[in-house]
Structure 1
Amino acid sequence: MLLNDLHQVLASYWNQFLYLLPKLALALILLVVAIFLANRLSRLIGGRLHARSHDPLLAEFLTRLSKWAFILLGLTLVLQILGMTGLVGGMVAGAGLTAFVVGFALKDIAENFLAGVVLAFNRPFRIHDTIQIRDNQTLMGRVEALNLRTTLIKTFDGKDIYLPNAMVLREPLINFTRDGHIRQDFLVAVDVAHDAGPERVQQTVLDFVHGFQDVKNEEPHTPYLIVEKTEGSVVTLHVYFWTYSEDYRRGTQELKSNLMQGIRQLLLQQGYAKPATVQ
């Protein structure tokens, strides 16, 4: 009797499998076609967006979004063919605890996805902009990509950091290159014992900064300096200058370094009694 019951159950399952086999085959073919079309259509949409949009970050994000939208549409059709749409809906609606667990597990994914949408349209940064998150030097680098869940930045020492979009949207973000120019500053301490006052060395330093290559001299981005402090015959000057920021790491920082070295050499050549300290 037991063997007969087992045989009947297996036979019933086998008949159901044979009944569903054509649907399974059709669903599999449709899923493959949906993935293929999603890739082709997303590339087509991406090509047109990149050609017409001046913002490659937004174009890339919309391309990725369209790809997953087409795949999701294909998956919905597959479930419809298999007759599982109602079953899945009933399971999710009927199992309250399961729905809660699934919703809690997907909370971060949904939050990061929505944050990615806001970042794509709000555009606080562009591809290759130098940004810093939360005033943290370890979270500073060039933007490489905005994905559906993460923002990829490459640090100046070559590390790839994948930041959750929600974190990028929620935390304070510093963009060093958005406007195309940025102000830099440094201190110059020099002994002016043989001068009547600090005016001569101030003018010497200011003229040198004005004439240095890649230092901006257009209003309101002109170089200037102030006397930070005086200790006896040593005067400390605070030099401010503006420069182009498209290449923040090599362009801006190397320019500052070269400018500081040039001022030190200039003051030494002009015979100041104490070697100039530049920092």
Structure 2
Amino acid sequence: MFTDLQRVLNTYWQQFLYISPKLLIALVVLILAIFVANHLSSLLGGKLRAKSHDPLMADFLTRFSRWALILAGLVLAMEVVGLYAIVGGLVAGAGLSAFIVGFALKDIAENFLAGVVLAFNRPFRIHDTVQIKDLVGKVEDLSLRVTLIKTFDGKHIFLPNAMVLREPLINFTRDGYIRQDFLVTIDLGATGDSEHAAALLLNYLRANPKVESKDPHTPYVILEKASANAADLRAYFWAFSEDYRRGTLELKSELMRDVKARLAEQGYTVQTVAQ
């Protein structure tokens, strides 16, 4: 028994001594590949960021080139050791194993390909405010597998790229301007003059320097509903949307808060101001 064990151990030791030079060379190849990948991708990323106006694309291509070079080095190291042919033969010869590996990597491959599509299609840029399903936030990063969204309450959401590509995506800031609206219900009193009230509301919107007033982004007011003594006026205005929360949401809140006092100064009673 001990003789057999000694013979087996001696066989393994001889095999290790035989393959150890190849392992050493493969390790050196892999380390060099990682070193070259890091430096070349950093050099490429610096040039892309300097010449490109799209940091999202530059960052994605930098990561892609780094992992591609590392993968090439890993394949070369496996070829040196002789494992590449062995692993390839096992995967090609075992249908069940190939199916299991393919199924396990399905989501990774899907998200990677979706990331490539998003990087080149560019439905958003870094710091754009987007909505995917019920999630609204700013785009912070696009990696090979996930898109990072930061919500307005400070949460970081990592969305699979395949989901971002598959779901309808609303970009609030791509155009640079976004239109908002709110409803003002006014008690007309005995005059019943809704046109005068609409004109006052429109002048108030135009007087605010934060409201865009150049074509085609001009404010306007429509009469949505009228009764004998009341009128529903809907005000539409455009705002600069680069900072969606401050440039749009806070401006809308400011207008809704102040419109009641402004119209009251002209003798109108504002019943409600709503979205």
- Check the 8 A contact 2:184/2:270 in 1, yes or no: no
Distance 2:163 2:259 in 1: 42
TM-score, with structure 2 as normaliser? 0.96
Q: Which range is displaced more, 21-30 or 44-53? A: 21-30
Aligned residue number for residue 228 of structure 1: 224
Distance 1:163 1:131 in 2: 13
The 5-angstrom pairing of residues 180-219 of structure 1 reads 180-219=176-215
3-state secondary structure, aligned to 2:223? strand
Aligned residue number for residue 143 of structure 2: 147
Distance 2:192 2:183 in 1: 21
- Check the 8 A contact 2:115/2:162 in 1, yes or no: yes
Q: Which range is displaced more, 119-128 or 257-266? A: 257-266
Structure 1 runs of 4+ aligned residues shifted over 4 Å read: none
Distance 1:5 1:193 in 2: 108
Distance 2:263 2:210 in 1: 21
- 2:152 aligned residue (147, 153, 156): 156
Deviation of the 1:194 alpha carbon? 4.0
- Check the 8 A contact 1:61/1:147 in 2, yes or no: yes
Deviation of the 1:30 alpha carbon? 2.0
Structure 1 pair 196–4 and aligned structure 2 pair: CA distance change class (3 A)? closer
Give the alignment's Cα RMSD to 1 decimal: 1.2
* Per-residue deviation, residues 26-53 of structure 1 (Å, max 9, x unmatched): 2222212211221111111100111111
Aligned partner of 2:170: which letter? I
Q: Which range is displaced more, 256-265 or 139-148? A: 256-265
Aligned residue number for residue 104 of structure 1: 103
Distance 2:122 2:32 in 1: 34
Structure 1 pair 276–81 and aligned structure 2 pair: CA distance change class (3 A)? same
Structure 1 pair 236–21 and aligned structure 2 pair: CA distance change class (3 A)? same
3-state secondary structure, aligned to 1:215? coil
Aligned partner of 2:72: which letter? L
Which runs of 5 or more residues in structure 1 are unaligned? none
- 2:272 aligned residue (254, 259, 277): 277
* Per-residue deviation, residues 49-77 of structure 1 (Å, max 9, x unmatched): 11111111111100000010010011011
Aligned residue number for residue 48 of structure 2: 49
Distance 2:173 2:271 in 1: 31
3-state secondary structure, aligned to 1:101? helix
Aligned residue number for residue 9 of structure 1: 8
